[in-house]
């Protein structure tokens, strides 16, 4: 079981990942705003190249960040792949929700909707992990309770055996 300090340290590292994901998603929205406002209309080919690159940028950043953690040995490969997939799913959902809201209500409504969808993912994960920790601790308490009961029964049996092996008169102090 991780100590409290280890959990706090791990949580702080995750907050940095969330910040990186939010910045890369914001850059995607900045690209969309630039296109919608007409700032890139005169650019010609730049618009054709920048749009797909900005859409893929959050996923490239996530893959690079998780891959570097695996290469540097800070994460196991399975954990890195699972974390990258989770972050990409969260970012993809946020971009999809943002695009949907943007088409209905405009780009300025898309940003809060996108960030809200990320917060829903974080809340769900936090709730799921809390429930898992609580179940784990309850199971551990049940196991400890069972162990204590078994040890108590063993001690009681040991005392009973010691008493039955003694002469009953010696047990009460009559015969020496």
Segment 55-89, tens digit of pLDDT: 777 888 888 888 888 888 888 889 889 988 988 88
Residue 21 inside a domain? The answer is yes
Task: Kindly tell me if the per-residue pLDDT of 145 is higher than 80.
Answer: yes
Task: Kindly tell me if the per-residue pLDDT of 119 is higher than 70.
Answer: yes
pTM beyond cutoff 0.85: no
Q: Residue 98 has what pLDDT?
A: 85
* Span 42-46, average pLDDT: 56
Residue 151 inside a domain? The answer is no
Kindly state the tokens that stand for 131. 């429930």
Determine which of 6-15, 39-48, 103-112 has the lowest per-residue pLDDT on average: 39-48
* Span 23-47, average pLDDT: 60
What average pLDDT is seen over the chain?
Answer: 76
170 versus 72: the higher-pLDDT residue is 72
- Please tell me the total count of domains within the chain: 1
Confidence of residue 51 (pLDDT cuts 50, 70, 90): low
Residue 109 inside a domain? The answer is yes
Q: Residue 171 has what pLDDT?
A: 54
* Span 163-173, average pLDDT: 56
Give every CB contact of residue 17 below 8 A, 6+ residues apart in sequence.
Answer: 65, 83, 87
Task: Kindly tell me if the per-residue pLDDT of 93 is higher than 60.
Answer: yes
Place of tokens 């990409």: 88
Residue 164 inside a domain? The answer is no
Residues 51 and 45: beta-carbon distance below 8 Å: no
Residue 157 inside a domain? The answer is no
Kindly state the tokens that stand for 66. 């998780």
Segment 3-33, tens digit of pLDDT: 767 766 776 666 666 666 666 666 666 666 6
Q: Residue 99 has what pLDDT?
A: 84
Residue 42 inside a domain? The answer is yes
Residue 136 inside a domain? The answer is no
Q: Residue 165 has what pLDDT?
A: 58
Confidence of residue 176 (pLDDT cuts 50, 70, 90): low
Place of tokens 């990942």: 17
Residue 173 inside a domain? The answer is no
Write the secondary structure of 40-94 as one string of H (helix), E (strand) and C (coil): CHHHCHHHHHHHHHHHHHHHHHHHHHHHHHHHCCCCCHHHHHHHHHHHHHHHHHH
Domain span at residue 75? 4-125
């Amino acid at each position: 079981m991780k100590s409290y300090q280890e959990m706090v340290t791990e949580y702080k590292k995750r907050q940095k990942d969330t910040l990186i994901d939010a910045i890369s998603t914001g850059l995607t929205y900045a690209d969309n705003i630039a296109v919608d406002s007409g700032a890139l209309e005169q650019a010609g080919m730049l618009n054709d190249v920048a749009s797909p690159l900005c859409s893929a940028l959050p996923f490239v950043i996530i893959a690079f960040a998780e891959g570097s953690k695996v290469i540097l040995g800070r994460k196991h490969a399975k954990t890195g792949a699972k974390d990258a997939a989770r972050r990409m799913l969260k970012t993809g959902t946020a971009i999809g929700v943002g695009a949907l809201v943007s088409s209905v209500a405009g780009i300025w409504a898309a940003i809060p909707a996108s960030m809200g969808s990320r917060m829903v993912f974080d809340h769900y994960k936090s709730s799921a992990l809390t429930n898992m920790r609580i179940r784990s601790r309850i199971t551990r308490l049940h196991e400890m309770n069972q162990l204590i009961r078994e040890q108590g029964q063993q001690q009681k049996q040991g005392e009973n055996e010691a008493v039955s092996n003694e002469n009953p008169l010696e047990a009460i102090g009559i015969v020496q």
